[in-house]
Structure 1
């Protein structure tokens, strides 16, 4: 067999700074090998991330970013999504900082291309999707303490791993060869000094309360991780087992001054909900059986009991009671086992289990401007109120009312979310002969999940308790809801209107995979290296089922925004794949080595038919220290079950109606395109919560997305103590699965008048898109157009030895976004924030400098930098000014080896207690912030003790 002495060096170099990720079959990573040992180890079959080929010498033509177990531990994070979101290549998706709209899972969004386009693997095999609200894998399944390293492959990987790898692949490589017993006990929490003069001034102006001074340690979390492993059967077998527990305490928005009120869309004032403790109500007489909009009045209930015109102060500050960070309890356990019967048969097994429970709390339910009709002699009105209505409308018998009343008497709404995930892999690998090996496996993954939504108002009960809509006055067993009497609503009356909605779901994934790989006894005339290949098959079946109870399906709870329907569906795909690695030349002038890699995958989907993906990559080592690499991948993502089969139903979208308010953004003619009449222009009410009605759902006629991804890069080792990588990447997606977006549809209708857009806009009474359920924008799934993403990744490592008796190492990981364009947004979102653009900076990096004086202790300082982003929008965002300024965070961590069995780690992230940048209500994901992306809660303090036996 061919031996390349440079290989051992390339393996160590690649693992050191992420130029490539190379794992040795059946061994630990090779960076600890040297000299003759490395040359001997190089004879083992090795695999490269992004390829299934195993051969004796190989370097990657695709850029791979590696995060080591040491970096994971130094971060102090026990939630794997927190670690991943701190990387420049990842945007925040579902995190523990989401309350309203929480799915209970944690998902990854590589490059901001989408969670459904980010393929997540564990030990090179797919994770199943997360639960009833998510079609993306839940990384809660991944225990941070058991991760050996995280490998992020950019540039697409569909030809190697199948669909969904449009943005790339995140592969969690687990510690499956652990020896001994290790127990890690940790605790962490947040601390912040409340002193935001701007926010405190806004709250003073509204009379809202807020915290001042130091918060103490809050948002505490605790974890215990146990890992054990050993060989057995005279060294032929090895087993690693683990069990973890993690508890995170809740943190409400009232704990920080910058989140103690909800900013309005412009960020210029504390907003609030018009569903106030004392109701705000639109009244109009019923004339000839119709609500007479021309006589409508908007009244508030005065504490004296009289109706009066609504004032700006007649709002409810709903922010304090909302969760800023959800409470969460998680258990995981699992094992990795392998047994070497002989060189030809090596069975292996992976099993894992995760149970997670979290509760998402948001402000109280209430009557969210639902419509009711009252006989004027209804006892809910006082004599004085009845006289006011008659003075306003004349001698009428019936009035219509859109009531906004917050259920402060009944407490907050809570969504209890639970997930249980099981994953099993059974397989065998071995050598067929000296050059060829095989790997066959069966994988089953399943996630069962449930939600119990409690303390929301059951709409059908409200009419009865009010004696409205044809109901007789409250009778036996009914407690009157005296909504128009100050102090007249009791806790018992509020409890009597409560309802509970239950939904259960299960997702399952079955994968049968097999391949053979090896080297041919053939090579090109220009090369001494043999060609290598892999040929395999895969059969994958995915099923998803979500069963909603009647209350969910009818949208019978007042605060749900609309129905939540059951979904049932699934698909299967059968695939053949192959790869070919062709060494072109080596050991020539100007060519240290050059290799061409090719790959293809044929897929047959039960839902959309045949698709083909393929790749080509060139790895060109100019010298032993300089390399040029380039790759092209054709990637495909088939629509998932929810995108295909979700029924159309009413829901809410966040944003703004550009035809609402006293001074609409658009002209009367433009707003007429959206259904606003001349009389309504300038009179359409804005939603104070920045939420409007939409119709959302799936589409069985969706076609797969198709993407072309390109990478071109340079790997350099100009000095023994300096190495770097620079890689350009490009992702072009066609037939994008998504929606135009409700607000974008509304704007396109206004600007063009095209029926393609305007037929999807229906305005309700008074031109509203949020009062009641008659007004809405249709935004169901379609193949919407194209998306383009481009950028440059950079990694630099520098080491200086013999400094003050120790070694200093510096590592920089950065990413520069050149373009982030989508047809739906119609704007380049790179370096931009708007209602259509997540605020991904043009440039983002982390720079860690570590000082290691001896084997007893180390110290590290890390600088995390977010470049500024520009604001692109029509609302006057005073908070943003011209955008979000650049943000810098400093982290400190130190480790101490107390003795050979005990080590201690202590650290502080965001040492300077920098607040997150604040944004208005139309841009915030939670609590006036881009929650989970920028440091959200202030200073993060963590410590852990590890015992090894």
Structure 2
């Protein structure tokens, strides 16, 4: 029986092409079998115990280097987001509010709950706007495989592994010299009759017919690797360069206008090219008189006339896909001094620059300007309008909120730069025949900056609109803002009113970690195998510093929605961890083998105290071809620096004020709870851009999130050439860290009158507005509620011989059963986001899969077809009539061809989304960019890619 076990272990190790850091005996008692007892073992994602079998108790979805290459994506996040287990997070298809980073969101639980690793070691935070790992720094050319593990991994890797782990395993044993040169581009046929009709109604321009090739990119990578000193050492170096050109929303008809919330018309902003004005007399306190005002714009003779439908189509100049230029370089090296000392180094560097362009700045009805009736900025006709309407005369003043778009000065641009550095120095080796160790020191740092350019600088506008013009005349460089003259603002005047805000930051991570792993010389009496274990300790520091200049800190740029404050914070954690693998029994009927894994980690945080995590997992090989696996994990996520220490400041939230418009959603009594007076009810204006003021920020008293994860699965190989796995998973999270959705606060206040909601609503005196003046909803961080997700993952592979070649098929899919949020337990009703767009839910289909078929002739060419599928999202009760029946099912077909020209040259060509399917369109409330859920569904049409690889 022992010979069979040993041969099976060796066969598994060879089948998976594993490379070990140390050799271990399969059975320490079987000295007579020494000729075959040494087998190679690997460390599989989810455990630090080295194994011979890649199938573990925790479900792991493996994406190979070949699959990444064939996908044709030049951005790693695009490949990862195509997997059914991931939901689009921070991507290149974001502009307004873009962080400039690429993050991963496993299960849609938030990127902060997805732990990202490189070779089993965590990555540092991404930059000034993100505490999650930025995977831009990972070179696609050197990825050996990507492991996606469902369920908590906190007992193995520490905090943040609530939804699971994404581990990028690098090919640090690469041999040879390889150069890869590639290019990509998009193409779309603009023929959306629905939205073209809406733009015709507004006389808006839009593209028609084929877009040609646009949004192109260029990609270059070079990798050099090999052994040295008679094979004792190995080193791999790499360099990559990628340049992505921009695409603006005006390049596609379906994104060329900003749809209203219902998706029934091209909406836009009240900050128009021809300005809009809220105008009133001045109260005794110098304030705007919201009891007696008019909403005007300018006639062609510059007189004040009632404004109706005067909005600006801000969509075309916004980036649909940001331009980006990225360099990465790095080194992986190891050297065998002796069996006990194998030093290694990992060094990675990235520099990335991207620009996030959005529509021109504006005055945004931000400030109540008090202006003299006799101001030289006004015409006689306008003074007469003021006299006729408000009874004003010479010597009086009037108050106005202005909505003027800075089309004369051009669009706003946020220049985002990131430079990241990651260094790992360590050693591994054997302690004895049964035990080995690994110890390392890791330092990661990301320097990042934001230069927000060409936004209106509030104080300059106040000066240029000074009550009587004297302040402007006395200020060097001031040009009067001729906003009361029809088409009277010059490019020079507009340029004098803009400013730049600068934000710089550095995030640092320092880790010292070590562990020993191996086998004891004993096991259970029922098993022929010994117990295996890991014991280790880790110390980690996370430091974050962000410095805002005065312009950012005081919110002096009108297009920012509020101040962006400096942020400084740090915490450290000391941890001790262990794992124990216990073979229970093997070789009896119905039990080929039964193995139980235990794990425990004790973590002491400087901010929140100590917290344990643990796991229990079972591997039951029923027969040689059937396995049952299950696990329970306790996972913990402590608040990050941003959540803890972010200064509290004003910003914007997208949604609806249910007490706005002439016909509010909520009753008068309910709106009274939110601060609406009887006279204001039915007279509160809605935001044309569906954006409202909020007050956001950190909370140093946050407690850790606690999650319990259960998985149960079956792995089978019922017949030759076919294998599959099916796994049920359940994640239950308590004390979730986050801010209560401001719209939910308003609704709950209206419906319940509860002070914990109503005290957070501050409406503008007089108008009752939440977007004009001082109105806002306070939504700072708190441990606010519970999250419960569950689903089923399926993976299957089948190969067959056809016409002298091999047809390999694979299917990976996820059936989402529950995606439930309980924002405030005991107060708000739980809601499930599967198959619905209500409650601000991300469009989560019940079923999502990727089916791939590859035909390999065994000669010089190989063809691949891929079907990516999203089931329908059916339920929606909101106002967006575009999706009143939900979002229909979406299918995308990708075709690829790989050609081996000679021993050194390989060519890959392909088209993703061959049928040029548009993203499902949604209205302004549900859109993430360009009237679409950008970066999740295919966003820009057909995607062409081609590359040439030269390897020597």
TM, length-normalised to structure 1: 0.96
1:342 positional shift: 1.1
Question: Can you list the C-alpha shifts for 1:630-657, whole angstroms capped at 9, x where unaligned?
Answer: 0000000000001001111000001111
Query: Aligned equivalents of 2:881 and 2:201: distance in 1?
Result: 17
Matched position secondary structure for 2:810: strand
The match for 1:845 among 840, 843, 849 is 849
The 5 Å alignment of 1:404-803 reads: 404-468=403-467, 472-475=471-474, 476-801=476-801, 803=802
2:929: which partner in 1?
Answer: 926
1:59 positional shift: 4.6
Alignment check: 8 A CA contact 2:449 2:504 kept: yes
Query: Aligned equivalents of 2:305 and 2:14: distance in 1?
Result: 76
1:458 positional shift: 0.5
The 5 Å alignment of 1:809-888 reads: 809-824=808-823, 826-834=830-838, 836-875=840-879, 877-888=880-891
Structure 2: runs of 5+ lacking an equivalent: 24-34, 824-828
Query: Aligned equivalents of 2:842 and 2:340: distance in 1?
Result: 51
Mean Cα deviation higher: 293-302 or 504-513: 293-302
Matched position secondary structure for 1:100: coil
Query: Aligned equivalents of 2:53 and 2:198: distance in 1?
Result: 64
2:381: which partner in 1?
Answer: 384
The match for 1:353 among 343, 349, 352 is 349
Instruction: Call closer, same or farther: CA 1:311–1:264 in 2, change over 3 Å.
Output: same
Instruction: Call closer, same or farther: CA 1:400–1:749 in 2, change over 3 Å.
Output: same
Alignment check: 8 A CA contact 2:376 2:469 kept: no
Matched, 1:268 2:246: no
Matched, 1:4 2:3: no
Query: Aligned equivalents of 1:779 and 1:707: distance in 2?
Result: 24
Query: Aligned equivalents of 1:798 and 1:42: distance in 2?
Result: 32
Matched, 1:77 2:73: yes
Query: Aligned equivalents of 1:115 and 1:684: distance in 2?
Result: 37
Query: Aligned equivalents of 1:58 and 1:222: distance in 2?
Result: 36
Query: Aligned equivalents of 1:258 and 1:686: distance in 2?
Result: 24
Question: Can you list the C-alpha shifts for 1:543-575, whole angstroms capped at 9, x where unaligned?
Answer: 000000000000000100000000001000000
The match for 1:299 among 285, 296, 300 is 296
Alignment check: 8 A CA contact 1:4 1:57 kept: no
Matched, 1:246 2:242: yes
The match for 2:181 among 159, 181, 185 is 185
Query: Aligned equivalents of 1:559 and 1:804: distance in 2?
Result: 63
Matched, 1:93 2:97: no
Question: Can you list the C-alpha shifts for 1:253-310, whole angstroms capped at 9, x where unaligned?
Answer: 0000000000100111100111001111100101323432221101111222111111
Query: Aligned equivalents of 2:767 and 2:480: distance in 1?
Result: 32
Query: Aligned equivalents of 2:383 and 2:38: distance in 1?
Result: 91
Alignment check: 8 A CA contact 1:42 1:57 kept: no
2:826: which partner in 1?
Answer: none
1:874 positional shift: 2.9
Matched position secondary structure for 1:587: strand
1:767 positional shift: 3.9
Matched position secondary structure for 1:900: coil
Question: Can you list the C-alpha shifts for 1:757-810, whole angstroms capped at 9, x where unaligned?
Answer: 000001114444444441000000000011000000000111111x11111010
Matched position secondary structure for 1:391: helix
Matched position secondary structure for 2:486: coil
Matched, 1:311 2:308: yes
Matched position secondary structure for 2:556: coil
Instruction: Call closer, same or farther: CA 1:469–1:420 in 2, change over 3 Å.
Output: farther
Question: Can you list the C-alpha shifts for 1:33-88, whole angstroms capped at 9, x where unaligned?
Answer: xxxxxx96971233222111125668511100000000000010010000010000
Instruction: Call closer, same or farther: CA 1:903–1:252 in 2, change over 3 Å.
Output: same
Alignment check: 8 A CA contact 1:464 1:474 kept: no
1:838 positional shift: 0.7
1:888 positional shift: 0.1
2:32: which partner in 1?
Answer: none
Instruction: Call closer, same or farther: CA 1:102–1:245 in 2, change over 3 Å.
Output: same
1:935: which partner in 2?
Answer: 938
The 5 Å alignment of 1:164-183 reads: 164-183=160-179
Alignment check: 8 A CA contact 2:814 2:848 kept: yes
Matched position secondary structure for 2:732: strand
Alignment check: 8 A CA contact 1:835 1:873 kept: no
Query: Aligned equivalents of 2:591 and 2:532: distance in 1?
Result: 20
Instruction: Call closer, same or farther: CA 1:426–1:769 in 2, change over 3 Å.
Output: farther
Query: Aligned equivalents of 1:94 and 1:766: distance in 2?
Result: 39
Alignment check: 8 A CA contact 1:62 1:630 kept: yes
Question: Can you list the C-alpha shifts for 1:716-769, whole angstroms capped at 9, x where unaligned?
Answer: 100111110000000000111011111111111111110010000011144444
1:355 positional shift: 0.2
1:466 positional shift: 1.2
2:30: which partner in 1?
Answer: none
Query: Aligned equivalents of 2:878 and 2:672: distance in 1?
Result: 19
Query: Aligned equivalents of 1:42 and 1:255: distance in 2?
Result: 61
Matched position secondary structure for 2:471: coil
Mean Cα deviation higher: 290-299 or 450-459: 290-299
Query: Aligned equivalents of 1:881 and 1:46: distance in 2?
Result: 51
2:31: which partner in 1?
Answer: none
Matched position secondary structure for 2:901: strand
Alignment check: 8 A CA contact 2:155 2:614 kept: yes
The match for 1:320 among 297, 316, 319 is 316
Alignment check: 8 A CA contact 1:835 1:922 kept: no
Query: Aligned equivalents of 1:143 and 1:381: distance in 2?
Result: 60
1:11 positional shift: 5.4
TM, length-normalised to structure 2: 0.96
Query: Aligned equivalents of 2:663 and 2:877: distance in 1?
Result: 16
Alignment check: 8 A CA contact 1:693 1:769 kept: no
Query: Aligned equivalents of 1:735 and 1:182: distance in 2?
Result: 49
Matched position secondary structure for 1:516: strand
1:125: which partner in 2?
Answer: 121
2:916: which partner in 1?
Answer: 913
Alignment check: 8 A CA contact 2:291 2:766 kept: no
Alignment check: 8 A CA contact 2:634 2:707 kept: yes
Alignment check: 8 A CA contact 1:586 1:594 kept: yes
Matched, 1:899 2:896: no
Alignment check: 8 A CA contact 1:359 1:415 kept: yes
Count of aligned positions: 929
1:682 positional shift: 1.1
1:8 positional shift: 4.7
Alignment check: 8 A CA contact 2:10 2:39 kept: no
C-alpha RMSD of the superposition: 1.6
Query: Aligned equivalents of 1:597 and 1:580: distance in 2?
Result: 6
